[in-house]
Structure 1
Amino acid sequence: MKLLLTGASGLLGAAVARAAAAQGDEVVGVVGRWPDPVPGVARQVALDLAEPAAVVALVQATRPQAILNCAALAEPAACDAAPALAQRVNVDLPAALAAAARAQGARFVHVSSEQVFDGAAPPYAIASPVNPLHRYGRQKVESERAVLAADPGAAVVRAPLMSGNSLGGRRSVHEKFLEAWSAGKTMRLFTDEIRAVCSAESTAAALLELAARPDLAGVLHWTGAEPVSRWEMGRAVCAHFGFPENWIEPVPRAALPEFTATRPRDLTLDLAPLDRVLRVKPERFAAAVARLVLPAWWRGAGRR
């Protein structure tokens, strides 16, 4: 299968590229400013993802059988700092890709986010009311609606916080911890903020299976197998690498009310129906942690 993959240099996109190539797919990977080759990408194209017309032109030129949109400006603070840019990448791009996919007869799979929910009433089913707490979540809701309006046969996958080893070593959960520790900081981690963290590899496998399953359309959920707190994430990462647990500090969300106002408390998702109909199954957090490695920059810097 020929796949057009946007966000190919990101944590999830790179995992998709590797998995797709391993199963014999031809990957045309769209990156922004990433300068190096992405493993698994047969043809790498540098385009400004904030210019959807250029990406649509690539769709028309390459005529892929499936399009997987893993591109996003995913940090809420970054979306607030550059709202127009975030709107183009998070909403305009997927809407344009959905329309292009339908026109070309290609399967379209768009990655949305658990952040469409407010975290107050988990677990969230597909039909649960959305109520995002920040701009990024609102843009993801808008993207879901725009994609399905343009291509009702598309799959829109709400994905969780991701674990894994990114190309640059600074994208995933444990890499963010490492950045703080390299600066000599103690990570203050919430004991009562819950995420069903999923590995990029598990999510990539689900997305690729969906690319070949046009019978599965509309909004879908995919996450890890069990919910974990931020504190539990930190403990697992410290244990895996043999770091002292005093590098992390447990705190309740109530201790930092000004910080948690726009942070959903518990984003546990109901995985029906994908947990029953896909060959790939949700992965436990411990299995994902076992594959984590220290990035090259850490091996040269370490803990200050």
Structure 2
Amino acid sequence: MSRTALVTGASGLLGRQVLRTFQQDDNWKVTGQGFSRASPPQILKADLTVPAEIEKLLDDVKPQVVVHCAANRFPDKCDADPSLARKINVEATRALVHATASRSILLIYISTDYVFSGVEGEAPYEVSSPTNPPNIYGVTKRDGEAAVLEETSGSGLGVVLRIPVLYGPATTNSDSAVNVLLDAVKKAQDANAGVKMDDWSKRYPTHTEDVARVCRDIAVKYLDERQQAASLPAVLQFSSDVQTTKYKMCELFAELLGVSIPGMVRVTDGGKPGEGVQRPYDTHLSTRSLKDIGISADTQDFRAWW
């Protein structure tokens, strides 16, 4: 008998791929949730900031697992409107996990490496490492984690999955902080463009297909071991181990496209207070806890995919 899943934020970069991965597995029946880009019947429209709409969605779909991808995931937008970021990333998450827990539904909450400070010398971070977010986005995602863990404590009905910056198939390059670098490469072909690009902070770009596979594997693991789920980790982490920077990614894209980028300015002294939203230096995530429960942490090759 097939299992049922619901993917929130199913019209976004990661949500689309999570939905697709579950669809490709004959053992699953999956439905997506969206709002501004909902497309019924595959992606149902529901406002997650309205608890009544969450409850109706769950009662209509009757999922055994919810993968919660929906979020305000852009640090600059979170900084510009902290109250909206908190409404989406914290309050909606709290309402969702309250509704799933009361219905004995497993919730997989997608979090971020930005819950860590990322100061030089601390990485790699284990699941038990102290959190200390450097910006509002990280704070709201950490508080979302807390809501999930508080509501599901001891029940095995909540799992936090921290992930880094993502790349993969996108409807527009702006969907991904990695894909959007292709636009910067195009602009920087003009020698006078003056495109500033960070070559300071360490990044570990991870493919959405790999994250989606991990989400499915977690769902299977925690449902299969439902009676012992409370003894499984409540926090997991997944990331590529290949280190790069935004500038180096731009160099790679330029090489693959066969173009030069004389208009790109390499920035090597980022992270200074007062220079916009603070980004961490290095938030490399350890995948030890994931491997310990038998889930593969393998990732595809960044260069080969592009």
TM class, shorter-chain normalised?
Answer: 0.7 to 0.9
Structure 2 distance, partners of 1:288, 1:167, is: 19
Report deviation, 1:253.
Answer: 2.0
Q: Which residue of 2 aligns with 1:295?
A: none
Q: Secondary structure at the match of 2:10?
A: coil
One-letter amino acid of the structure 2 residue matched with residue 136 of structure 1: Y
Q: Which residue of 2 aligns with 1:64?
A: 63
Residue by residue over 1:206-265, the C-alpha shift from the partner in whole angstroms, topping out at 9 and shown as x without a partner, is 111111222443111111122222222222222333332435432202596643771111
Q: 2:165, 2:178 within 8 Å by CA — same for their partners in 1? A: no
Structure 2 distance, partners of 1:46, 1:182, is: 36
2:280 alignment partner, one of 261, 264, 276:
264
Q: Pairwise mapping of residues 105-184 of structure 1 onto structure 2 (< 5 A)?
A: 105-120=104-119, 121-152=122-153, 153=156, 154-183=158-187
Structure 2 distance, partners of 1:32, 1:183, is: 32
Q: Pairwise mapping of residues 30-41 of structure 1 onto structure 2 (< 5 A)?
A: 30-34=33-37
Q: Which residue of 2 aligns with 1:47?
A: 46
Residue by residue over 1:112-159, the C-alpha shift from the partner in whole angstroms, topping out at 9 and shown as x without a partner, is 111111111211111111111111111111111111111132110111
Percent identity, aligned pairs only, is 27
Q: Which residue of 1 aligns with 2:17?
A: 15
Q: Which residue of 1 aligns with 2:218?
A: 210
Q: Secondary structure at the match of 1:5?
A: strand
Structure 1 distance, partners of 2:173, 2:180, is: 9
Alignment CA distance shift 1:186-1:166 (3 Å): farther
Residue by residue over 1:92-118, the C-alpha shift from the partner in whole angstroms, topping out at 9 and shown as x without a partner, is 122222122222221110001111111
Report deviation, 1:78.
Answer: 0.9
Q: Pairwise mapping of residues 85-100 of structure 1 onto structure 2 (< 5 A)?
A: 85-100=84-99
Q: Secondary structure at the match of 1:268?
A: coil
Q: 2:187, 2:195 within 8 Å by CA — same for their partners in 1? A: no
Figure out how many residues of one structure are paired with residues of the other and give that number.
286
Q: Find out whether 1:27 has 2:6 as its counterpart.
A: no
Q: Pairwise mapping of residues 248-287 of structure 1 onto structure 2 (< 5 A)?
A: 248-254=264-270, 258-259=274-275, 262-283=278-299, 287=301
Q: 1:6, 1:71 within 8 Å by CA — same for their partners in 2? A: yes
Runs of 5+ in structure 2 lacking a partner? 223-228
